[in-house]
Structure 1
Amino acid sequence: MENFYMFVIMCVLLILLPGPDTAIATKNTLSVGRTGGFQTMFGTCCALLIHTTAAVVGLSAIIVKSAIVFSIFKYVGAVYLVYLGVKTLWALRSRKITPEITTESKYEGKSCFKQGFLTNLLNPKVAVFFLTFLPQFVHSGSDTFIPFLTMGITYTLLTAVWFLFYIYLLNQISAFMKKPKTQRIMEGFTGTILIGFGVKLALEKAQH
């Protein structure tokens, strides 16, 4: 592996860019609470570890090179994101917004984990990222098993650190976030963003 520190810097910059994972974490933190945000983060990180394993054994290359497989992942992921966005907007419309966020139930926690996990796992762009970004930091012709594994775990850990900070920050300003008007605006915003990400993913073209 070469330029590991440059790899870490690039990962931090990429992780800070808002995406579907951030939108899901925001939605669940605001609607369920800090525990919901952490459940979402854990689901996202588990999916990243699966992407790492796929990259190590070469499965991601199949997704990237096969237009059919890529399209299947793309459209399933897009539909799921749109579903979450519509569900968020519908819940915003159908329920009464109370001054306090409701207490998380055991089912909500499982749902938050599932949403974080599926949002990341069903995004073929993550597979494309691993197969196009990671090789840039490996010596040509060298064995990629250990370098890919190290970089994948590093990216996952950096993602976890960022979400821990982000969720903690949201929780710290929870008094402001729990205001009915603020909650309504944020849930409407994140629901719209999720639909937007779903449409964008559906229009994504396979790379060969």
Structure 2
Amino acid sequence: MVNFYAFVMLCVFLIILPGPDTAIVTKNTISVGKSGGFKAALGTCCALCIHTSAATLGLSAIIMKSALLFSVLKYVGAVYLLYLGIKALWSLKKNDETTASVEVDTKRQLKNTSCFKQGFFTNLLNPKVAVFFLTFLPQFVESGSNTFFPFLIMGSTYIILTAVWFLLYVSLINRISAFMKRPKTKKIIEGITGTILIGFGIKLALEKVHN
């Protein structure tokens, strides 16, 4: 492995850049609370563990080389993002009709939340993550050397950095939740988040197959 510190710095930059994972964590932190944000982040990290294992074992390379597998994963992921985005927008109308029972609904949502699954499947069903691991990690491995342990170390490092970032991010969102959970503010943020998720879904659906 070469330039590990450069790898860490680039990872930090890439992790902070907003994407579908950040949108899901934001949505769940605002709508459910700190617990929801952490569960969504945990789901993302668990999916990253699978991506790391796939890259280490060479399974990601199979996905990249197979137009069919890439397309199936791409469209399933796109549909899932579209579903979450539409669901978020639809909830705005529902919230208007049930304003008096917001507190009860929130507690029920905390009990039956799918935050972990949303974070997990949003990341797992995104083939661009697999592509990222196979195009980004090899740049920090000496040519001709065995990639198993370097990929494992770098993948684990990426997961740890992601967990630390979301820990700080969710805590920050939760700190200003009093402002963000005001009815008007919450409605605007959830509307924006839902629209962003739909945008990510469309973008993913239009993504070209990498050969």
The answer for the alignment partner of 1:159 in structure 2 is: 162
The answer for the alignment partner of 1:27 in structure 2 is: 27
1:41 equivalent in alignment to 2:41: yes
Q: 1:93, CA displacement in angstroms?
A: 1.2
Q: 1:206, CA displacement in angstroms?
A: 1.2
The answer for the alignment partner of 1:177 in structure 2 is: 180
- The worse-fitting range, judged by mean Cα deviation, of 90-99 and 144-153 is 90-99
The answer for the alignment partner of 1:88 in structure 2 is: 88
Decide which of 198, 202, 207 is 1:204's aligned counterpart. 207
The answer to whether the 8 A contact 2:92-2:191 is kept is yes
Decide which of 197, 201, 209 is 1:194's aligned counterpart. 197
1:154-208 CA distance string (max 9 Å, x none)? 0001011111111000000011011100000000000000000000000000111
- Return the alpha-carbon distance in structure 1 between the equivalents of residues 68 and 59 of structure 2: 14
The answer to whether the 8 A contact 2:29-2:170 is kept is yes
What residue identity is the alignment partner of 2:130?
A: A
What residue identity is the alignment partner of 1:9?
A: M
Moved over 6 A (4+): none
Structure 1's unaligned 5+ residue stretches are none
1:35-90 CA distance string (max 9 Å, x none)? 00000000000000000000000000011111110000000000000000000000
Decide which of 147, 154, 160 is 2:150's aligned counterpart. 147
Q: 1:118, CA displacement in angstroms?
A: 0.1
- Return the alpha-carbon distance in structure 2 between the equivalents of residues 118 and 52 of structure 1: 15
Q: Secondary structure at the match of 1:105?
A: helix
1:138-163 CA distance string (max 9 Å, x none)? 00010111100000000001011111
Q: 1:105, CA displacement in angstroms?
A: 2.8
Q: Normalising by structure 1, what TM-score?
A: 0.96
- Return the alpha-carbon distance in structure 1 between the equivalents of residues 148 and 126 of structure 2: 23
The answer for the alignment partner of 1:121 in structure 2 is: 124
Decide which of 107, 110, 127 is 1:105's aligned counterpart. 110
Q: Secondary structure at the match of 1:205?
A: coil
- Return the alpha-carbon distance in structure 2 between the equivalents of residues 168 and 69 of structure 1: 37
Please, what is the CA RMSD of the aligned residues?
1.2
What fraction of aligned residue pairs are identical, expressed as a percent?
A: 70
The answer for the alignment partner of 2:58 in structure 1 is: 58
1:3 equivalent in alignment to 2:3: yes
1:15 equivalent in alignment to 2:20: no
Q: Normalising by structure 2, what TM-score?
A: 0.95
- Return the alpha-carbon distance in structure 1 between the equivalents of residues 177 and 83 of structure 2: 26
Structure 2's unaligned 5+ residue stretches are none
